[in-house]
């Protein structure tokens, strides 16, 4: 018991005892008895109450809160709503009367690494600060971080919590969790290797909340997340989120560090599989905080080459929230002072309608082999459902684009060893296969030249008629009969172009969706998925197209139209490929060079010489000179 002294009494001196100077003994004893009575009374009437335990810190009169139901699609739900008088959050400020019972004292980081990734966790919010893909680099040559720090600080980090209560969401993502590891323990610096360290568990409790989040690892790109949030013993629907984009997002770097002029975020998509059907939606059409309670096999956000996909353990209880924010950035990334335009930040959250979330997260490249090896949960509860391969979206050209990609990859893996050379080899093979159709085109053009006088005579007979005159139909019928009699296919000259254009667009889809072609080198081209930095290929395309048009005879064509095609077509294609992937320009430029060489060879053949002779005759006739008739071979 602490000693209490009367401040009005003087302390005994050095020689104190029972001397008269200290007062008589009787008075001292009476005072001592009074003090003893006061102390005993104080202890009895003012005894301090013991501090309440955190589990009982909430008012017991309040009923237990249950997880509410989310709203309809496009509306936030009301899961875990607090009752009157409840704040729904622990008091984390110093000196609080409701200090957390399970929490860390300091913020710490733990790094989990395998051959595929290096993930840096922070115990503040039990979320991810860095998700580095070790086999892929950014434009600065450093391993690619799937987390963009600038936007993540504004909208949230991967594996953070999402709830329908902003205050609760903030609390869950700001609390300091205690961390424990399963398997090999992290080093003193917080570094561990997977799968030797098979799991990290984050635990926080306080203010009626009890939160446990466990992340499990193996040797693949996939991690498993299990999360449980309870308030006063009742489950709260808390979703796991990836809220702020992924992959190549260099446009969000500070202007002094911006290395790319391409807004890759504009090409982000929300993709999903529902009832066995895969679909996707462009970022501009995705709503914010839109809730969908449907049996998703998976839901994902993607950019051109990377994806973050959530695969629920129980698809029949899946709940998905789409997250869509914007950041104003300069319209011209190379000019910080240019007019600002909104840039899209796409995110996703997934949970379980029961409140307890169990899901797998794939965060990695859109590699066909890798995605084909990852399967959604099947009907038996095992990961043997549909694969993630449909996330590589070639669109309606899949029937051409996928075999094209496989052919390029085969050449790359079997001797060529360079994606640029693989593109050239495939283009050469394709043009050689197209050679018969090119000869068919030339024969059709030659036949058209031979009957051109008959066509002109037919047109002259009906020249006096107006365009709306019904007799014009008779002219068209006679024209078709003439083509049929002479064995002329009026569309034969267009056949090679009709076949080449689907391949052109298939190349475009392959270059836009195949991660292997990202940052693939070929001579001065450092990235076949980006435009030619020196614009050499677009210039080659313009020159080769012009000369091919110039040396190809077309006597039946109007001179003005011929001049327009000779100049406008090369300029149009050159300008288009000025801004598109250099791999696409490499394909088109290679094809143009082959066509030019072929046309030079055809011009030296008997068929080519006849075509040039007919063209020369028509030119002389137009000039008023009557040349001798040129007999063509049948």
Which has the closest alpha carbon to 523: 440, 612, 423?
A: 423
For residue 60, with 0-12 CB atoms within 10 Å meaning exposed, 13-18 middle and 19 or more buried, which class applies?
Answer: exposed
First to last CA, the chain: 127
**Are the CB atoms for 436 and 446 separated by under 8 Å?**
no
How far is it, in rounded angstroms, from Cα 122 to Cα 257?
25
- Hey, how many other C-beta atoms are within 10 angstroms of the C-beta on 388? 27
Cβ neighbour number for residue 550 with a 10 Å cutoff:
11
Task: Give the count of beta carbons closer than 10 Å to the beta carbon of residue 271.
Answer: 20
pLDDT of residue 619: 66
pTM: predicted TM-score of the whole model, two decimal places: 0.75
Cis preceding-peptide flag for 363 (omega within 30 of 0): no
Closest by alpha carbon to 376, among 318, 322, 321? 318
Q: How many residues does the chain have?
A: 634
Per-residue DSSP letters for 120-145? EEETBTTEEEEEEEEEEE-TTSSEEE
Judge contact between 366 and 307, C-beta under 8 A. Answer: yes
Tokens matching residue 66: 């249950």
CA distance 359 to 350: 8
Rounded to an integer, what distance in angstroms lies between the CA atom of residue 187 and that of residue 127?
Answer: 20
Nearest CA to 159 out of 137, 177, 184, 144 is that of: 177
| pLDDT value of residue 93 | 39
Q: Which among 323, 303, 520 has a CA at the least distance from the CA of 392?
A: 303
Cα separation, 498 vs 496, whole angstroms: 5
If the chain, 634 residues long, is cut into consecutive pieces of 10 residues, what is the mean pLDDT of each piece? 36 38 42 46 42 32 32 36 34 47 94 97 97 93 93 96 95 97 95 96 95 97 97 94 92 71 84 93 91 95 95 96 93 81 94 94 96 94 93 88 93 92 94 81 78 83 81 84 79 67 85 88 92 93 89 65 74 86 92 90 81 73 60 48
All domains of the chain in start order, with CATH:
109-393 (2.70.98.90), 400-451+488-622 (no CATH)
> Helix 582-603 to helix 559-578 angle, to the nearest 10 degrees?
150
Separation CA 38–CA 48 (nearest Å): 16
Tokens of 628: 């001798």
Which residue do the tokens 């007062």 mark? 23
Instruction: Kindly state the helix (H) or strand (E) to which residue 30 belongs, with its residue range.
Output: helix 25-45
Per DSSP (E only), the strands in 283-317 are 290-292, 296-302, 306-312
User: C-alpha distances in angstroms, 595 versus 163, 408, 561?
Assistant: 61, 21, 21
- How far apart CA 152 and CA 216 sit, in angstroms, is 23
Burial class (CB in 10 A: 0-12, 13-18, 19+), 4: exposed
Pairing of strands 318-330, 290-292: antiparallel
Q: How far apart are CA 396 and CA 366, in angstroms?
A: 18
Say which DSSP state 76 is in.
-
Strand-pair category, 191-193 with 197-206: unpaired
pLDDT at 90: 38
**With 0-12 CB in 10 A as exposed, 13-18 as middle and 19+ as buried, what is 237?**
buried
Residues 6+ apart with CB under 8 A from 401: 394, 395, 506, 509, 510
Q: Which two tokens stand for residue 144?
A: 């690619």
The SS3 assignment for 594 reads helix
How does strand 127-137 pair with strand 117-122?
A: antiparallel
Q: What's residue 330's pLDDT?
A: 85
Could you give the CA distance from residue 287 to residue 346 in angstroms, rounded to a whole number? 10
- Amino acid 75: pLDDT: 37
> Of 309, 310, 318, which is closest to residue 354 (Cα–Cα)?
318
C-beta atoms surrounding 462 within 10 Å:
15
Cα 61 from Cα 72, distance rounded (Å) = 32
Within 10 A of 505 (CB to CB), how many other CB atoms are there?
A: 17
Distance, in Å, from the CA atom of 370 to the CA atom of 362, rounded to the nearest integer, reads: 10
- Report the DSSP beta bridge partners of residue 351: 319
- For residue 299, the cross-strand partners are 272, 310
DSSP state letters, 402-471:
HHHHHHHHHHIIIII--HHHHHHHHHHHHHHHTHHHHHHHHHHHHHHHHTHHHHHHHHHHTTTS-TT-TT
| Bond preceding residue 195 cis, omega within 30 of 0 | yes
């Amino acid at each position: 018991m602490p000693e209490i002294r009367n401040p009005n009494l003087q302390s005994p001196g050095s020689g104190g005892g029972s001397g008269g100077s200290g007062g008589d003994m009787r008075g001292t004893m009476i005072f001592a008895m009074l003090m003893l009575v006061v102390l005993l009374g104080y202890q009895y009437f003012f005894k301090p109450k013991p501090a309440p335990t955190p589990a009982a810190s909430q008012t017991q009169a309040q009923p237990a809160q249950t997880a509410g139901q989310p709203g309809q699609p496009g509306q936030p739900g009301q899961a875990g709503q607090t009752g009157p008088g409840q704040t729904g959050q622990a008091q984390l400020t110093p000196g609080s009367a409701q200090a957390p019972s399970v929490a860390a004292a300091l913020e710490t980081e733990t790094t989990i690494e395998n051959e595929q990734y290096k993930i840096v966790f922070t115990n503040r919010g039990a979320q991810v600060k860095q998700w580095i893909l070790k086999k892929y680099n950014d434009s600065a040559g450093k391993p690619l971080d799937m987390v963009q720090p600038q936007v993540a600080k504004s909208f949230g980090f991967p594996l953070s919590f999402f709830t329908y209560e902003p205050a609760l969401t903030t609390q869950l993502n700001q609390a300091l969790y205690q961390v424990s590891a399963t398997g090999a323990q992290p080093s003193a610096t917080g570094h561990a290797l997977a799968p030797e360290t098979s799991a990290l568990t984050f635990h926080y409790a306080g203010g009626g909340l009890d939160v446990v989040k466990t992340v499990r690892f193996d040797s693949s790109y996939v991690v498993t997340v299990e999360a449980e949030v309870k308030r006063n013993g009742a489950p709260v629907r808390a979703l796991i989120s990836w809220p702020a984009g992924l992959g190549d997002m260099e446009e969000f770097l500070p202007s002094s560090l911006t290395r790319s002029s391409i807004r890759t975020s504009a090409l982000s998509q929300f993709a999903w599989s529902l009832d066995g059907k895969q679909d996707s939606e462009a970022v501009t059409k995705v709503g914010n905080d839109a809730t969908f309670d449907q049996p998703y096999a998976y839901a994902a956000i993607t950019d051109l080459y990377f994806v973050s996909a959530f695969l629920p353990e129980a698809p029949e209880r899946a709940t998905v929230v789409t997250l869509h924010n914007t950041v104003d950035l300069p319209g011209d990334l190379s000019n910080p002072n240019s007019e600002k335009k909104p840039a899209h930040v796409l995110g996703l959250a997934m949970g379980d309608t029961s409140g307890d979330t169990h899901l797998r997260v794939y965060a990695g490249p859109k590699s066909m082999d890798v995605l084909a090896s990852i399967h959604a949960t099947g009907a038996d509860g095992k990961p043997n459902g549909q694969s993630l391969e449909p996330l590589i979206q070639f669109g309606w050209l899949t029937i051409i684009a996928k075999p094209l990609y496989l052919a390029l990859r085969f050449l790359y893996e079997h001797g060529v060893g360079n994606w640029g050379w693989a593109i050239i080899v495939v283009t050469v093979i394709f043009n050689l296969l197209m050679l018969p159709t090119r000869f068919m085109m030339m024969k059709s053009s030659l036949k058209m030249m031979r009957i051109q006088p008959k066509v002109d005579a037919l047109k002259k007979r009906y020249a006096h008629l107006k365009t709306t005159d019904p007799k014009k139909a008779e002219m068209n019928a006679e024209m078709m009969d003439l083509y049929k009699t002479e064995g002329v296919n009026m569309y034969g000259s267009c056949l090679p172009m009709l076949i080449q254009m689907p391949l052109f667009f298939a190349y475009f889809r392959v270059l836009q969706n195949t991660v292997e072609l990202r940052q693939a080198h070929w001579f001065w081209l450092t990235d076949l998925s980006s435009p030619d930095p020196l614009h050499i290929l677009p210039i080659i395309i313009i020159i080769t197209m012009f000369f091919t048009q110039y040396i190809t005879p077309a006597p039946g064509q109007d001179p003005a139209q011929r001049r327009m095609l000779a100049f406008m077509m090369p300029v149009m294609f050159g300008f288009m490929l000025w801004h598109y992937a250099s791999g696409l320009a490499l394909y088109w430029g290679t094809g143009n060079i082959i066509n030019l060489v072929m046309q030079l060879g055809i011009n030296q053949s008997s068929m080519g010489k006849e075509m040039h002779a007919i063209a020369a005759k028509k030119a002389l006739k137009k000039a008023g000179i009557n040349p001798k008739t040129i007999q063509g071979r049948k």
